[in-house]
Amino acid sequence: MRSGNLGYPRIGNNRQWKKALEAFWAGKLDEETFHAELKAIRLGNLKAQQERGIEIIPVGDFTYYDHILDTAAMFGIIPERFYYEGGEPSLSVYYAIARGNREATASEMTKWFNTNYHYIVPELGQSEPQLTRNRLLDAYREAKSELGIEGRPVLVGLYTFLKLSKGYSPDQLDAWIDRLLPLYSQVLRELEAEGVQWVQVDEPILATTLGEEDLAHVARIYDYLASAAPGIKLQLQTYFEAVDHYEAVVSLPVHGIGLDFVHDGGRNLQSLHQHGFPEDKVLGAGVIDGRGIWKADLQSKLDVLKTIAEAVHPDRIVVQPSNSLLHVPVSAAQETALEPALRGALAFADEKLEEIVLLTKAAQGGAVAVAAELAASKLSREALQQSESRNRTLVHQRIAGLASQPSSRPSNSNVRRDVQQKRWNLPLLPTTTIGSFPQTPEVRSARLKWRKGEWSEAQYETFIKEQIKIWIDVQSELGLDVFVHGEFERTDMVEFFGEKLDGFAFTANGWVQSYGSRCVKPPIIYGDVEFTSPMTVAETVYAQSLTQAPVKGMLTGPITILNWSFVRDDKSREEVAYQIALALRDEVEALEAAGIGMIQVDEPAMREGLPLKREQWAGYLEWAVRAFKLSTSTVKDETQIHTHMCYCEFHDMIDSIRALDADVISIETSRSHGELVGSFEEHTYDKGIGLGVYDIHSPRLPSVEEMGSMIDRALRVLSPEQFWINPDCGLKTRKYDETVAALRNMVQATERARKKYTAQVNG
């Protein structure tokens, strides 16, 4: 057996990559210095793998922004609006595609399969693809000359690239395969001429639900590549799930197949033993979790490798992570402030590489050779498992009694609507916002002073109250109907709640890339989640004391907290979601008891948790909906439950969204308003709904007329009596003046619409 890796975090152990990008964008680094700084980070990443004893080291996985954008740029697939004239794209063009510029909007960004990483969606359109520069050849040469590493270039597979692209119709797929095959072949032939022996071709699309036509396309692609570059060996890498069409995939004319033995639910291992494995291929055995942050149960992993070795000769097995380590932080070495039991159980990218090397040694020489290391790893896992944080009696009792917990409102939505209208007496087309108001430099500075201890708790509380009052007055002056307190005390919609619930921890340097230079530190759900005291009541009650208008309580929902965190691996995600839901229920009940009669429980990440396999969607959505309803079902009929979701393919989820039974839902739709509204022409929705009438992600000020047309478009298929008017998302990132101006226009557009539609409602 040999040890291998599939990809390494790009950002550097102190986010040097992020800082270099942002300095370059700000004009603080010239291009030559920028290239030099990124080269240093790139070589440092390779050296980290080399020093830990990894035998097969990937090259070409490093990027200046995103690996899918890199692939598009390498093949000259540049949208026309960037005035690309051929050849290698300049950095200005490259970054304009990712970030936009004064003349052109950025390309769409979306999730990389079911991870929290976002890629830039290639736009094929009328592009005439060409090989602009063989970046993999550059990466291979650099690693070899600078560090003596015989690296394995990483190439995004042709079929995955096309399936993740836009700008072509299904009947054009074959033509695009024909356009790109010669270019992929050219890349491989140039690598072959350089002496490269192996290339890793990433085809995660093979772990999704595919049909026979897809398999035929894939077979055609690899037949072509095998004949075009016969002297190079291809390692076809799949990850994130099991391969459904196992026999077809392992029969492809490649020299190696990489399979995920962590997130496959045991199906890849089952297929391996049921159907065998070709004797002329190498198996990349993804046994170390490339997405989680926990130390592996190494004895269990050795048992898996032993089982694999019953079907594949050990000389043809590479021990590797389940996927690229892009999705985990760089190193756990700096997390000295965490409690010892938790810290000892963590494994970030560097620690996972060490586990891979350790497993390889154990498989080669027997577990006795590394007995001390195996014992130490086992003790670390057991210490966390036996800790108080994972043995909270009350939490376990509540989960055990789930069957008796209310998971639906006592009355149906029609009854609740009448009760709530009597209580609130809202006008037609009520106006509100999604929750947050601008986090100004003053707000961020105050929070930092408080966290550093430079401000007392009383000073910080006074400041937050001042901000709340400013924005209650603004909302009143603008004439909004339902207010929010502004969330000035919150940095992040998940972190805020994690800091106030038991069972969560936060790292000092556990950064991962979300998109571009945007890095996040996901909370760690390491123990049983438990409510300890009210989290949002004080600020919401204070805001309500300043106005007669209703003020919404604002919470983040259980599924979003789950999907935007690193989650413990000893319990199912479903059970952890229920733990969070029950803790949030306590907060919902505390808000209601304090007189707050509208409560918004946001679920922007519900769709993000959908499994890759379509046949598993129903199961996930069932427990996701149940978790939301566990949070919200104990309130009185007169208490109005709101939720907010970011844009999704609404027709895929409309039944589940309806099943949430929220009284009002707002959806981020301004960039796809017509498309989403069109889905209501096919599906009915009978509860309150707000389709965002302007895009908060842009500083551009939409006119009254523009917002009015958005309202009219929605009311072609929705009843005015169910429609709410709101921005499409929170206003945290906007400035004061632009926020006030946009909301003023929104209110004016609403007033015009009320005059227009009141007669229609009154018959």
Mean pLDDT comparison of 54-63, 404-413, 719-728, highest-scoring range: 54-63
pLDDT-derived band at 674 (thresholds 50, 70, 90) equals low
* Residues facing residue 436 across a β-bridge: 486
Q: Tell me whether residue 564 is annotated as binding.
A: yes
Q: What is the pLDDT of residue 646?
A: 77
Model confidence at 92: pLDDT above 90: yes
Q: Tell me whether residue 80 is annotated as binding.
A: no
Quote the CA–CA distance of 149 and 145 in Å, as a whole number: 8
pLDDT (tens digit, 9 = 90+) per residue, 194-219?
A: 999 999 999 999 999 999 999 999 99
Q: Tell me whether residue 646 is annotated as binding.
A: yes
pLDDT (tens digit, 9 = 90+) per residue, 355-383?
A: 999 999 999 887 788 899 999 999 999 99
pLDDT-derived band at 737 (thresholds 50, 70, 90) equals very high
Q: Tell me whether residue 730 is annotated as binding.
A: no
Model confidence at 762: pLDDT above 80: no
Model confidence at 31: pLDDT above 80: yes
Cβ contact 449:455 at 8 Å: yes
Q: What is the pLDDT of residue 624?
A: 97
Model confidence at 464: pLDDT above 90: yes
Q: If 0-12 CB within 10 Å is exposed, 13-18 middle and 19+ buried, where does residue 27 land?
A: exposed
Mean pLDDT comparison of 87-91, 694-698, 706-710, highest-scoring range: 87-91
Cβ contact 716:677 at 8 Å: yes
Q: Tell me whether residue 644 is annotated as binding.
A: yes
Encode 379-397: b = buried (16+ Cβ within 10 Å), e = exposed.
ebbeebeebebbebeebee
Averaged pLDDT score across all residues of the chain: 94
Catalytic residues, by residue number, are: 697
Q: What is the pLDDT of residue 106?
A: 87
Helix (H, G, I), strand (E, B) or coil at 511: coil
Q: Tell me whether residue 434 is annotated as binding.
A: yes
Cβ contact 583:529 at 8 Å: yes
Q: How far apart are the first and last CA of the chain?
A: 77
CA-based nearest residue to 494, from 559, 437, 446: 559
Q: If 0-12 CB within 10 Å is exposed, 13-18 middle and 19+ buried, where does residue 11 land?
A: buried
Q: What number is the average pLDDT over the span 722-730?
A: 91
pLDDT (tens digit, 9 = 90+) per residue, 326-350?
A: 999 999 999 999 999 999 999 999 9
Q: Tell me whether residue 111 is annotated as binding.
A: yes
Helix, strand, coil percent content, the chain, rounded in steps of 5: 50, 15, 40
Q: What is the pLDDT of residue 647?
A: 57
To the nearest whole percent, how much of the chain has pLDDT over 70? Answer: 97
Q: Tell me whether residue 729 is annotated as binding.
A: yes
Q: Tell me whether residue 103 is annotated as binding.
A: no
> Tokens at residue 15, please?
């986010």
Place of tokens 């290639």: 122
> Tokens at residue 302, please?
């050795």
Q: Domains for the chain: give ranges and CATH numbers.
A: 2-78+106-386 (3.20.20.210), 428-762 (3.20.20.210)
Q: What is the pLDDT of residue 201?
A: 98
Model confidence at 669: pLDDT above 80: no
Q: Tell me whether residue 408 is annotated as binding.
A: no
Amino acid identity, position 3: S
pLDDT-derived band at 406 (thresholds 50, 70, 90) equals confident
pLDDT (tens digit, 9 = 90+) per residue, 94-121?
A: 999 999 888 888 898 888 999 999 999 9
Sign of the four-CA dihedral 140, 144, 147, 149: positive
Quote the CA–CA distance of 715 and 718 in Å, as a whole number: 5
Q: What is the pLDDT of residue 676?
A: 63
Per-residue DSSP letter, 643: E
Q: How big is the CA angle at 414 (ends 580 and 429), to the nearest 5 degrees?
A: 90
pLDDT (tens digit, 9 = 90+) per residue, 468-527?
A: 999 999 999 999 999 999 999 998 889 999 999 999 999 999 999 999 999 999 999 999
Q: What is the pLDDT of residue 547?
A: 98
Model confidence at 671: pLDDT above 60: no
Q: If 0-12 CB within 10 Å is exposed, 13-18 middle and 19+ buried, where does residue 200 land?
A: buried
pLDDT-derived band at 759 (thresholds 50, 70, 90) equals confident
Cβ contact 579:396 at 8 Å: no
pLDDT-derived band at 236 (thresholds 50, 70, 90) equals very high
Q: What number is the average pLDDT over the span 415-438?
A: 95
Model confidence at 602: pLDDT above 60: yes
Is the full-model pTM beyond 0.85?
A: yes
Q: What number is the average pLDDT over the span 534-560?
A: 97
Per-residue DSSP letter, 725: B
Beta strands 118-120 and 109-111 are antiparallel
